[in-house]
């Protein structure tokens, strides 16, 4: 089976905000292949970490993205 390409936006927390609600700042974009058969999402998470690392970022977590045309938001340190 062929992997499905997911469009991801890479963002970090706005450090000027000290209390909730915390906001993120988009800093980059990347496409990551999501495996069709991935029990629990572990392989996809590893691919997201590797994609962030390849761009010089340290992966923190990911979530669904509300921005049109994007699938996931990757929050980095």
Output the tens digit of pLDDT for each of the chain's 77 residues. Answer: 688 999 999 999 999 999 999 999 999 999 999 999 888 899 999 999 999 999 999 999 999 999 999 999 999 99
| pLDDT tens per residue across span 45-66 | 999 999 999 999 999 999 999 9
Domain count, the chain: 1
pLDDT at position 70 is 97
Task: State how beta strands 24-34 and 59-64 pair.
Answer: unpaired
Residue 42 domain boundaries: 4-76
The pTM of this model reads 0.90
**pLDDT, position 68:** 95
């Amino acid at each position: 089976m062929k992997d499905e390409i997911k469009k991801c936006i890479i963002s970090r927390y706005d450090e000027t905000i000290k209390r909730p609600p915390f906001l993120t700042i988009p800093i980059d974009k990347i496409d990551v292949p999501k495996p069709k058969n991935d029990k629990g999402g572990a392989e996809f998470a590893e691919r997201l970490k590797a994609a962030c690392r390849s761009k010089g970022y340290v992966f923190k977590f990911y979530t669904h993205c509300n921005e049109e045309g994007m699938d996931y938001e990757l929050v980095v340190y």
